[in-house]
Structure 1
Amino acid sequence: MENYKIPGHLRLETRRWAKKILEEYTLESHHFRMLVKTCEAWDRSEQAREALAADGLTVVDRYGTPKAHPCVGIERDSRTAFFRGLRELALDVDAPEVPRPPRTRDYGSRR
């Protein structure tokens, strides 16, 4: 196993989490990069959540109309990226017996 260096730009709690993952799992270099990006997505989500806690969910535009704070989208997108990273790393499950079928063109319109 290679000795991977967890980037210092990650938050302390995120670095601790990544270190624990590295202790419990044997990762190849591409998995390590995926782990780092997953950690970055978590940190970005937390940054956006903290900004929303401080500023509120809405901002007022130049016309005086309340709009969603830009961090609402940042938090959502980062959270989605985090969960996708976890899914791709597949740390908590063995390989599925049957692969998930691909999405088809009519995905979402079926009833």
Structure 2
Amino acid sequence: MSTPKAPAHLSKEAKSWWDNIMNEYEIQDQAGQLILQTGLEAFDRMRQAQGLLKKEGMTTVDRFGQPKAHPMTIVERDNRAAMLAALRQLNLDLEPLNDRPGRPAGR
């Protein structure tokens, strides 16, 4: 079976993620591909918010002249959570297997 191409509207970075995940995990079902697409769309929105925050700063000034969190901090947070939730729904084995029994070092 051929690997489906990344949706055209995704950013170059998200398309790279799509290719890597599809090649590594061979997601063939439409539901899994939709979950991955949704997660990568959230990834793109998170990156857009990060770009605005880098340009405009983490805070803004309200009408009373008081500093407050930039609205894009909420967009970044929410889309990061959505992306991670989509990856969890895919149930990908993201942790490397231990080469020996027992707890991993440092835990």
In the alignment of these two chains, the number of paired residues is 93
SS, match of residue 74 in structure 2:
helix
1:49 positional shift? 1.0
1:42 positional shift? 0.9
Q: What letter is aligned with 2:12?
A: L
C-alpha distance in 2 between matches for 1:58 and 1:7? 34
C-alpha distance in 2 between matches for 1:49 and 1:92? 27
1:35 positional shift? 0.2
- TM-score, with structure 2 as normaliser: 0.78
SS, match of residue 84 in structure 2:
helix
- TM-score, with structure 1 as normaliser: 0.76
- Alpha carbon RMSD of aligned pairs, Å? 1.6
Percentage of matched positions with identical amino acids:
42
1:2 positional shift? 6.5
Q: What letter is aligned with 1:6?
A: A
Structure 2: give runs of 5+ residues left out of the alignment. Answer: 95-107
C-alpha distance in 2 between matches for 1:35 and 1:84? 10
1:3 positional shift? 5.1
